[in-house]
């Protein structure tokens, strides 16, 4: 059951509980990210895993995107998703090229630092809400939960587990998201967190069918129900139009030269690796509008 979010209601419909094995999707995204630094790799993987869980909280053509600015403000990580479960994630060029952490044991906490922030944009193309919070926990999971508490006044519990193999390749990823609904008892989310941690419950549940999941959940939490499975996948929304901006950034002289040499300009999306080629005739059109 990979690349699907399992949506459930537990504790007498007072808690929304979503969980996923998003290993395949994350492997694809992390491969494209080209990140060499292990801690940076882990951080992006966790951020993207969190985003994939948030996709099921969206409706219609809503989108949610997060920008994580590390303590060193030059370094940023991006992750976004939509209601269709399309997920992306990448880091900026400065972070990609940053000197690798010398100490291979450097922690996520050190990597994020004490002055990092999360900025989240949520809504529709034309109408969205932006919120920003700092990252007091320096571990992403609790920082995102903190964001939802501060900006949307919702009590949320987020847990992501990312396992790397001996060559720092992602080989397993799980994510759990729980949200308290009106009527949830005080401390209910802590109970869910403790139970999942104590038993490593996510992989167990993900190995079961719906009937098995409901039975296993009912043994631990009251009156549980599996609602649906929602697919998630890596998808980049880039288009050729987005790369016209790059061409506009070139000088008239440079554009003129490529036309004279009858060569095309190749551009590449650094998120998905897709190539966009601009033919001399298209470059001519750009020149005419300048
Ligand atoms: Zn792309």
CA of 236 to the centre of ligand 1 (A): 5
**Predicted pLDDT at 106:** 82
For 168, which DSSP code? S
Where in the sequence of the chain do the CATH 3.55.30.10 domains occur?
A: 4-234
Q: Which residues pair with 89 in a beta bridge?
A: 79
Q: 55: which 2 tokens?
A: 């996709």
For tokens 């690798």, name the residue: 100
**Per-10-residue mean pLDDT for the chain, 290 residues long?**
91 96 96 92 97 95 96 96 96 90 78 97 87 97 97 95 91 96 93 93 94 96 94 92 85 90 90 90 84
For tokens 């809504």, name the residue: 123
For 14, which DSSP code? T
How many Å apart are CA 228 and CA 210, to the nearest integer?
A: 9
For tokens 């190995």, name the residue: 207
CA of 15 to the centre of ligand 1 (A): 36
CA of 126 to the centre of ligand 1 (A): 22
CA of 112 to the centre of ligand 1 (A): 26
**Distance between first and last Cα of the chain:** 52
How many Å apart are CA 179 and CA 147, to the nearest integer?
A: 13
CA of 127 to the centre of ligand 1 (A): 24
How many Å apart are CA 274 and CA 5, to the nearest integer?
A: 27
CA of 63 to the centre of ligand 1 (A): 17
Kindly report the number of other CB atoms within 10 A of residue 106's CB atom. 15
CATH of domain 4-234: 3.55.30.10
**Best CATH choice for the domain 240-288 from the list 3.30.420.40, 3.40.80.10, 3.30.70.920, 3.90.1280.10:** 3.90.1280.10
Where in the sequence of the chain do the CATH 3.90.1280.10 domains occur?
A: 240-288
CA of 228 to the centre of ligand 1 (A): 29
Give the CA radius of gyration of the chain: 22
**Predicted pLDDT at 101:** 65
CA of 34 to the centre of ligand 1 (A): 14
CA of 100 to the centre of ligand 1 (A): 26
CA of 270 to the centre of ligand 1 (A): 7
CA of 268 to the centre of ligand 1 (A): 8
Q: Give the number of C-alpha atoms closer than 13 A to the C-alpha of residue 163, restricted to the C-beta side.
A: 8
């Amino acid at each position: 059951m990979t690349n699907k979010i399992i949506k459930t209601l537990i504790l007498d419909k007072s808690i929304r509980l979503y969980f996923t094995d998003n290993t395949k999707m994350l492997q694809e995204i992390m491969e494209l990210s080209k990140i060499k630094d292990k801690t940076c790799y882990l951080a992006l993987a966790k951020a993207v895993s969190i985003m994939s869980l948030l996709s099921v909280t969206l409706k219609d053509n809503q989108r949610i995107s997060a920008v994580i600015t590390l303590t060193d403000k030059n370094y940023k990580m991006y992750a976004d998703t939509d209601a269709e479960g399309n997920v992306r994630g990448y880091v900026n060029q400065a972070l990609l090229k940053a000197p690798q952490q010398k100490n291979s044991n450097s922690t996520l906490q050190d990597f994020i630092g004490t002055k990092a922030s999360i900025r989240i944009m949520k809504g529709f193309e034309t109408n969205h809400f932006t919120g920003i919070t700092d990252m007091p926990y320096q571990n992403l999971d609790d920082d995102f939960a903190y964001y939802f508490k501060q900006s949307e006044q919702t009590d949320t519990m987020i847990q992501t587990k990312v396992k790397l193999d001996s060559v720092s390749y992602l080989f397993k990823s799980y994510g759990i998201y729980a949200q308290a609904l009106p009527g949830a008892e005080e401390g209910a989310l802590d109970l869910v967190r403790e139970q999942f941690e104590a038993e490593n419950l996510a992989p167990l549940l993900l190995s079961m069918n719906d009937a098995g999941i409901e039975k296993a959940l009912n043994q631990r939490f009251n009156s549980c129900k599996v609602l649906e499975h929602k697919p998630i996948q890596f998808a980049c929304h880039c288009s050729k139009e987005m790369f016209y901006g790059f061409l506009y950034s070139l000088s008239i002289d440079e554009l003129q030269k490529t036309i004279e040499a009858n060569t095309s300009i190749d551009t590449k999306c650094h998120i998905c690796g897709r190539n966009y080629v601009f033919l001399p005739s298209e470059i001519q059109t750009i020149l005419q509008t300048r």
